[in-house]
Amino acid sequence: MLNYIHILRPHHWVKNILIFIPLLASHEINDLTLKNSIFAFIAFSLIASCGYIFNDMVDLKSDKIHPYKKKRPLASGKVTKSQCKLIIIFLLFAVTLISVQINLKFLCTVIIYFLLTVIYSIILKKKIILDIIVLSIFYTIRIFAGSQATDILISTWLFTFSIFIFFSLAAVKRQIELVYLVKIKKTNVKGRGYKVTNLPIITMMAICSGYLSIVILAFYINSDEVIKLYSSPYFLWGVCFVLLYWITRIIFTASSGLMHLDPIIYASKDKISYICLIIILFFITASII
């Protein structure tokens, strides 16, 4: 049973908290929007697990020789491909049942997300740069799914901010792989298309995109929308400085070879990231009161 739970990668479900962002950003919290957001979180967690399992099936050969991924249930032989297919079918059925209870728009978003993960696993992850763009879309589509589930429109500011910050984090994910290659003295990522010589440009992409997201946030703070939602919007400038520190630290940690996980998964286990989150929540609360 533990192997079946492990193959679902529940630790990655933390990414689906992004579904609650439209609800929180709009301040439209009520029984219906909260209930739909919770159901959307559950549905997206299950459909994301379908994508992870399918990706494990596609990457089975390369995972078996990877120093970390070889410990995964499928790569280690603790779970078979046939069992994986049955799990995917069961999860798809459960996701459909949950999604139709929300609305058809959310169901369509879930279907599009899953189809995109399948295409990514088979084709897109082998295309340099394009794979980073698709990874950033995976994050952004979670926010869009939260919007569809609650019928809350997301602003252009939020959409633009999410694209740049998630592109930065997706680039960090590739940066981690390249730094590891340098460490073990190999030249290219198997099945990816990246080489260690690409490390400087990937790092620069992560830095530039991350800093651009903060610039967008700064412009948002000075927009008319903020005046309607926040009584003391100047406190939001504190969020900019905390994010500036957090993004820089994440990229620095990755470049130093001290990060071996997805950056968001790393952040979910990192004490300093939690401190940054608490400070951000303080500034946001202060801006509302």
Rounded CA-CA distance 80/93 in Å is 20
pTM of the predicted model as reported, rounded to 2 decimal places? 0.86
Residue 92, φ and ψ in degrees, nearest 5: -60, -40
Q: How confident is the model at residue 59 (pLDDT cuts 50, 70, 90)?
A: confident
96-118 as b/e: b if 16+ CB within 10 A = bebbeebbeebbebbeebbebbb
Q: Across the strands, what pairs with 195?
A: 188
* pLDDT above 80 for 156: yes
**Higher-pLDDT residue of 173, 69:** 173
Rounded percentage of the chain residues whose pLDDT exceeds 70: 96
What integer pLDDT is reported at residue 65 of this predicted model? 67
Per-residue pLDDT, averaged over 125-143, amounts to: 90
Q: What is the pLDDT of residue 191?
A: 58
Confidence grade of residue 80 (pLDDT, cut at 50, 70, 90): confident
pLDDT value for 75:
75
- Rounded mean pLDDT, 65-93: 81
Q: Is the pLDDT of residue 270 over 70?
A: yes
Burial 167-204 (b: 16+ CB within 10 A, else e): bbbbbbbbbbbbbbbeeeeeeebeebebebebbeebbe
From 41, 285, 37, 25, select the one nearest 155 (Cα to Cα): 25
Task: Give the pLDDT confidence score for residue 3 in this predicted structure.
Answer: 75
Q: Which residues of 125-163 are buried (b: 16+ CB within 10 A; e: fewer)?
A: beeeeebbebbbbbbbbbbbbbbbbbebebeebbebbbb
Average pLDDT over residues 62-82: 74
Binned at pLDDT 50, 70 and 90, residue 143 comes out as very high
Lowest mean pLDDT of 38-42, 58-62, 213-217, name the range.
Answer: 58-62
Q: By C-alpha distance, which of 91, 124, 109, 82 is closest to 9?
A: 91
